A = this chain, B = another copy of it.
């Protein structure tokens, strides 16, 4: 009972190229060749191919299939467990992605009226190496970022406008304070720093003092943030940075 590549391919629903490939990598080499060099598969080859395809349908990589099949005494159960974990892990990641997409779609609906600055505030950011942790929190789909994204997703048009208004109000007051010449580590500045922290906590995510000082450092270290604040009032980035630090220290 010998079969040609084509026959085997049709029977097992794989392409001829696939069989060539399995032969190349030594996963399934036909037990014989015709004088002309044609591959000739026999029944044991077919059995092996059947197993290969079964494992492939379970998502195993070819190399691991080879391991399993070439260790006839070995137990495939550990492999199965590993694969199970791997797949469930992938599912988790994909689900996160789907959730993120849904958020993005929600956000899109309201996005029209958002200024770039607001989007900048809501979505990810750049941050120097020193704040890798904070970056992880915001980028990596971890707690604070997710929390923020979840809340943002539920924002109504009015929420956005109120958020914006509060922000602008705060910006006006701190601008006035800088203009007045009040020290950055004075009580008024610290009060506005605290207000800033609570603003973030209320609208986006729980902003601890630790996170807040991290943000503060980012405001001076990252030119994009710096630019945002400098545009409101030159010198504001550094001023706010100092105020936030002073505030955090005084509360500790």
A13 partner residues in chain B, CB cutoff 8 A: 132, 135, 139
Enumerate chain B residues within 8 angstroms of A11, measured Cβ to Cβ. Answer: 126-129, 222
**Residue A153 CB within 8 A of the other chain:** no
Contact of A57 among B87, B97, B102, B227 (CB under 8 A): B97
Contact with A43, one of B75, B102, B135, B224 (Cβ below 8 angstroms) = B224
- CB within 8 Å of B: which of A12-49? 12-13, 43, 46-47
Identify A58's interface contact among B10, B77, B104, B223, CB under 8 A.
B104
Chain B hits for A128, CB < 8 A: 10-11
Contact with B along A112-128 (1 / 0, CB 8 A): 00000000000111111
Interface stretch of the complex, out of A88-96, A169-177, A187-195, A204-212: A88-96
Q: Could you say which residues of chain B place their CB within 8 Å of the CB of A232?
A: none
Chain B residues, CB < 8 A from A108: 75-77, 80
Which chain A residues in 58-117 approach chain B with CB under 8 Å? Answer: 58-59, 75-77, 80-81, 83-84, 87-88, 90-91, 94-95, 97-98, 100-102, 104-105, 108
Which A residues are closer than 8 A to B by beta carbons?
1, 10-13, 43, 46-47, 50, 53-54, 57-59, 75-77, 80-81, 83-84, 87-88, 90-91, 94-95, 97-98, 100-102, 104-105, 108, 123-129, 132, 135, 139, 141, 222-224, 227
List 5 A-B pairs, minimum CB-CB distance, nearest first.
A10-B129, A59-B97, A84-B101, A11-B126, A91-B94
